[in-house]
Amino acid sequence: MPRESLAGEVTRGHPLHAPEPSGSGEHLRVVLGKKRFDAHDVGARYVMRKLVDAGMEVVFIRFALIQELVDAAIQEDAQVISLSVLTGGHLVLAADLMDGLRAAGLDDRLVIIGGVIADEDHAKLLALGVDGVFGPGSKPETIVTFINEWFGTKS
């Protein structure tokens, strides 16, 4: 008898005082997901703050099942779907996420993963279709640049 994920497990970050990203004409929308029972939030919180400072709108969701992250991406019409994993199991989560996104027709969205991810897993994640992997010690400015360049080249 697993329980439903409950409302109220979402934290929103709005770029109240931040400039809009150049050229896009609106805020980039990011959903940032973390497994509900992964207690580590320092990395996700820090990245969230920096993305908001860089002019993005971030919805931070703690999910029980990866489908909830996919659903959040649909509801928010997110251009960026990001996953924070510090408990291991990132290969399983990433595979399920990519399946879910394909099924929802969101193949074209930017997908990035960060957390405690060993070097040898980076190539495996990229092979699954993840666009960017940010391991321990990555600077948020690297992530911001990665996202902006992605949309700069795609638009």
Partner 1 sequence: MTTEPELRSDAGLPLLPFYGPETGSRRGPEALGDPGEFPFTRGLHATAYNRTPWMMQQVLGAGLAEQTREIMDQLVSEGMEGYFGHKVFNVVLDNPSKGGIDPDWPEAKGHVGVGGMSLSHLDDMRRLVKGFPLESTNFSIITGDTCLVALAMYVVAAEEAGYTPDQLRGNSMNWLLKSFCVDNPDFSPRGAQKMAAQLIRYCTQEMPAWNTTNFSGYLIREAGANAVQELAFTMAWGAAVIEECIAQGLEIDAFAPRLGFQIAFHNDFFEEVAKLRALRRMWATLLHDRFGATNKKSMQARVHVHTAGDTLLFQQPQNNIVRVSLQTLGAVLAGVQSIHTCAYTESVEIPTPEQARLALRTQQIVLHETNVAQIADPLGGSWYLESLTDEVEDAAQALIDEIERKGGFVGAIESGWVKGQLVDELVKKHDLIDSGELVRVGLNKYVTEEAPESRPARFTMPPEIEQEAIRRITEWREDRDQKAVASTLDAVRATALEDGYLMPTVLDAVRAKATQGEIMNALKDVYGWGFVTN
Residues that bind partner 1 (CB under 8 A): 1-3, 6-9, 11-12, 34-42, 44-46, 49, 62, 64-65, 87-89, 92-93, 116, 118-120, 135-137, 139-141
Closest distance of CB 50 from partner 1, Å: 8
Distance CA 45, CA 134 (A): 15
Cβ proximity to partner 1, 11 vs 24, nearer residue:
11
Distance CA 36, CA 63 (A): 5
Cβ proximity to partner 1, 6 vs 16, nearer residue:
6
Closest distance of CB 85 from partner 1, Å: 10
Closest distance of CB 13 from partner 1, Å: 9
Distance CA 45, CA 13 (A): 10
Sheet strands side by side (includes 10-13): 10-13, 57-63, 29-35, 80-85, 110-115, 132-134
Cβ proximity to partner 1, 8 vs 25, nearer residue:
8
